[in-house]
Amino acid sequence: MSSRIYLDLETTGLEGSNSIVEVSAVYYSGGLKVSSFSARGNDPSAKINLEALRVNKYNFRGLAELRSEQQLLMDLFDWILGLNAKSADLAGINIQFDYNLIKQRAEKYNIIVGSVLPYRL
């Protein structure tokens, strides 16, 4: 039976210049939940779309209280690296957007994702 990482992001908008503010992920292998991850962060220099904040139920004060987006991404990658999930599929709602945004935002912090995120979407 295959393994799969289900992933979902909340963001300050739908462009690469918007920040990731929340990541949740669950890893399943052989039909069983193995591990989960959840973290919040923000890049204060990122663009903010007020409609995105309304949808995500964030406000500026709430964003200011979050840890850095860079730390959020490093924690996510540490979690993924700790999994034995090299052949896992990546799944979620609008997963292509989430996958691309994670890669774009990581590059801002000189983190090259490469094959750490599963290839198959």
Quick: pLDDT tens for 22-34: 999 999 999 999 9
Q: Name the residue type at position 117.
A: L
Helix axes 69-82, 95-108, angle to 10 degrees: 110
Distance CA 45, CA 60 (A): 12
Task: Give me the pLDDT at residue 121, please.
Answer: 63
Q: Name the residue type at position 115.
A: S
Alpha-carbon 5 to chain mean position: 11
Task: Give me the pLDDT at residue 65, please.
Answer: 95
Task: Give me the pLDDT at residue 87, please.
Answer: 78
Nearest residue to 109 (alpha-carbon basis) of 53, 70, 60: 70
Task: Give me the pLDDT at residue 1, please.
Answer: 58
